[in-house]
Amino acid sequence: MTLDRIESPKAKKKLSLGVGGAFVELPAERTGWANKTEFILSCIGYAIGIGNVWRFPFFVYRNGRGAFLIAFILMLITMGLPIFFMELCIGQYTGVGPMEAYRRMSPAFGGLGICTLVVIGLVTVYYMVIIAWTLFYTFASFSSKLAWAYCDNGFNTENCYSGLEDKQCQDTNSTTIFFNKTCQLITKVCYNFGYDKGNKSYCFNETHQKPIRKLYDSVLSSEEYFSDYVLGIRGATWDNWGGIRWELLGCLTLAWIICYLCLIRGVQSVGKIVYFTALFPYFVLIALLIRGLTLDGAEYGIKWFITPVWPTLFDAKVWGDAASQIFYSLGIGCGSLITISSFSTFSNNCHRDAIFITFTNLFTSIFAGIVIFSIMGYLAKQMDLPLEDVVKSGPALAFIAYPEAVVRMPLSNLWAILFFFMLFILGLGSQFAGVQAINTAILDVRPSLRKHESLVILVICVCGWILALPMIFDGGVYLNTLMDWNTASWAILLIGLLEVARNWNLFRLTETWGPSKKTSW
């Protein structure tokens, strides 16, 4: 079987694709990127998303800290970079979306293209819900009083703990702490739990001492805000889905409207918007890094982040998580990269692009980790807790731990707005590629719809909005987590491995990588 793509002498966009001797003319009206910069920024905007800020640091925390960094870099070089390059090649070579590309390369593997679209479709649906969370927090950050900083809200429980209110109690009277929604004497609190004495952090007697917050089931005010107010998860189960979260519905609707407006003209409009969506987060990360390094405890957090726990390198789970994060972070196995590169020029140097984009992704992940853990080190010192007790899960890192830290900083509203708006922009940049992949697949199958591309994108956005509605109910986070696990973990890993197996079988090495026989691939 042979696969040839030749440029027509009439127009750059009028191409022929040959499979097994049969040539199919591609539509001449298919638009492309205006320049190389738009293509690079689109790839960066897609590959670098919310997961770089909360998912990667959480995996580092859970898998041996610096040891995970080693595993991550090795998996990037051995798996991530080659597959990333391969997908750029497929898209650039065929000039069509993943479904048509795999069908024309091998009809027997046409289902692989469909699988990538199913996965990116599911990811697009649940990912927009997470983007809606960031939009919710962005709006909430404009309030003069950050609601997650206090325990006086209607949804707060008696076990709510507010670090800000605890500090206010101690500033008023150094012998009191914040307990049961009010300022109480430390000795009284300790006595109620069977201890003779205490200070602001510990209760103790002649034989034992215990952190005060571990004497009862204390819950951070930021955690109650996220779980009980934003998600409304209290009491919700798979059997009892609860009611709709109207605030989230508004944020979800607005997020989809913004996404549609940015994509209304396909790659032509996206190519202009990515200058902002791909670059703005770096300015915010730099600002957050400068602020984080000035905080007391930043050195502790960064040192904790990069220090390896060497025995974990012998744990298969660490390497599995590293592979999963590589696929999730780079966005391989979803068909979006094939779509993005299909709008690139045929002679584009995708070797260089693959190296640049993947290592930019690596740099951003580590950079974001340093930013986050400098702030987490500050929070751990403020709470007088080991850093490992501060972080509980990936989403908690972005929506619980960081909001808890930011209320303890000067100009807390400003830092909250910058952080959550950055997350929103990061998510939106990744979402563009997902929606465009679905749009391209439809237009490849029905070229006559190209003149109605804006309408096709509108239908995709409306369908995505409808499918996401169950995830903004009280129990919607359960469905969101289920979809995340079944698409962003094993599914994209399986698709990526099938891509490698199929392409290795389809082409000889020299046909795929060219006569130079570059051994680095």
**412 assigned to a ligand binding site:** no
> Among 465, 474, 467, 485, which Cα is nearest to 239's?
474
**Do 418 and 426 touch, CB atoms closer than 8 A?**
no
CA atoms within 13 A on the CB side of 388: 7
Contacts of 177 (CB under 8 A, 6+ apart): 166, 169, 170, 183, 184, 186, 189, 200, 212
Q: Cα-Cα-Cα-Cα dihedral of 412, 413, 418, 423, to 10°? A: 100
**47 assigned to a ligand binding site:** yes
CA atoms within 13 A on the CB side of 392: 10
**Do 509 and 517 touch, CB atoms closer than 8 A?**
yes
**52 assigned to a ligand binding site:** yes
**Do 390 and 401 touch, CB atoms closer than 8 A?**
yes
**354 assigned to a ligand binding site:** no
Q: How many CB atoms lie within 10 A of CB 347?
A: 8
**329 assigned to a ligand binding site:** yes
**108 assigned to a ligand binding site:** no
Cβ-based burial of 412 (10 A; exposed 0-12, middle 13-18, buried ≥19): middle
**Do 110 and 362 touch, CB atoms closer than 8 A?**
no
**347 assigned to a ligand binding site:** no
**Do 413 and 141 touch, CB atoms closer than 8 A?**
yes
| Residue for token pair 């045929």 | 346
Binding residues: 45, 47, 52, 329, 361, 426, 430
Binding residues for Na(+): 45, 47, 52, 329, 361, 426, 430
